[in-house]
Structure 1
Amino acid sequence: MKRTAILALVALAACRPPASDRYVERIALDDPRGGPKVLPRSPDTDGAIWASSGGPRRIVFGHPGKPPLLAIECAGNGERIEVTRFAATDPHAKGMMALIGNGHVERLKVDALDLGGNRGWLWQGRFRPGDTRLDALTGARKLELTIPGAGTLALPGSPRPGELIERCRRLGSPEASGQPSAGSPRPPA
């Protein structure tokens, strides 16, 4: 029995990847200044809504009269979709945003965004409008958006994110811009 337990521990230890050359800095666990910022729990989204903010190409999700929890924006001339999670993070942090719902389970890279002027850092992902992983946001059913350390947002079903993403896709398409695509013939001069 003892030998089996030892063999199991050796096998388990063999499954761990080796340390990386870019190993993170070690911190003292009892130091209140050190370590990543972590929300104690996910924010309450009961009563939160989607609303336009700053023009027709940006919507925010949150409680009326309070700072938003999430923003989706069609930036540039339909060149990218920016998803911003209004949760403080560490400078230069990198992470993954999980989207679960509307028949999708997706993971997208997000980075820390410097607000400038010592105002802090937030999570933001920048994606091409045609990225099919964004389809998780386009359905009308509820969705969970999770970023480790920023908690989970339970988003109620709404057509607004999907409408914005589809509008951005049309705006960024060659047909919408009047520019021929690489594969389309040029009109006669």
Structure 2
Amino acid sequence: MTLPEGEALPGVRDSAAPASWASSVDGLSARFGHPGEQPLVSVACRQGVLVVTRHAAAPIGAQALFALVGSEGIMRLPVDATAVPGQRGYIWQGTMAADDTRAKVLGGSYTGTLPGAGMIKVSGGGPVRDLVARCRRSAPTDAPEPVAPAQAME
């Protein structure tokens, strides 16, 4: 099984450089990895929902828990093997509400473990903390309570 091909992190490839977080130009995603290489983990915001992607090959139809243990807590995020448009193969992807209290784990340093994808050590970073905060602010607010027809006529 081949890893999906995708856009490399910005920067010149430097195997000695430590992995770090980088924000997308539009500020709607952050990617963790080595400059000039494919990301290892990415987080994106879509209408108040965080999309967490572990860029590692996943078997078709697989489901797992991405276990994150870090300085900001512990989280087990359900992930599925997901096809990404324009890329070959499947990678691990899961979602969670941006206002979920467990999302703070993503901003700190953590160790992530996924069956078949091994363990990854992720450092905390401003780009992902900013993304989570921005996504929380962009989350849709709850709709007002419905009004009974009899109350609306008064």
Preserved CA contact (<8 Å) 1:81 1:128: yes
C-alpha distance after superposition, 1:57-100 (max 9, x if no partner): 1111111111111110001x32x110011101100110001111
- Alignment match, 2:73: 104
Q: Is the CA contact 1:74–1:164 (under 8 Å) kept in the aligned structure 2?
A: yes
Matched with 2:29 is: 58
Query: Which residue is 2:53 aligned to?
Result: 84
User: Which of 76, 80, 94 is the aligned partner of 2:63?
Assistant: 94
Residue equivalent to 1:7: none
Higher strand share: 2
Correspondence list, 1:1-189, <5 A? 47-53=18-24, 55-75=26-46, 77-78=47-48, 80-116=49-85, 119-139=88-108, 142-174=109-141, 181-182=143-144
**Amino acid paired to 1:166:** A
Gaps of 5+ in 1: 1-32, 34-43, 175-179, 184-189
CA distance in 2, matches of 1:159, 1:54: 15
- Which letter maps to 1:57? L
**TM-superposed deviation, 1:108:** 1.1
Q: 1:87 to 1:145 in 2, by over 3 A?
A: same
The 1:169/1:65 distance shift into structure 2, 3 A limit, reads same
Query: Is contact 1:97–1:110 with CA below 8 Å preserved after alignment?
Result: yes
Amino acid at match of 1:96: L
TM-score (norm 2): 0.76
Structure 1's consecutive aligned runs of 4 or more residues displaced over 2 angstroms after TM superposition are 115-118, 180-183
Percent identical residues: 38
The CA RMSD over aligned residues, in Å, is 2.5
Q: 3-state SS of the aligned residue for 2:128?
A: helix
Counterpart CA distance in 2 for 1:93 and 1:45 is 34
Assess if the C-alpha contact under 8 Å between 1:45 and 1:153 holds in 2.
no
Contact 2:72 2:104 in 1 (8 A): no
Partners of 2:35 and 2:24 in 1: CA distance: 12
Letter in 1 for 2:134: R
* Counterpart Cα distance in 2 of 1:45 and 1:105: 30
Distance in 2 of aligned mates of 1:117 and 1:51: 22
Highest Rg: 1 or 2?
1
Match of 2:12 in 1: none
In structure 1, the residue matched to 2:11 is none
Paired residues of 1:58 and 1:71 also in contact (CA < 8 A):
yes
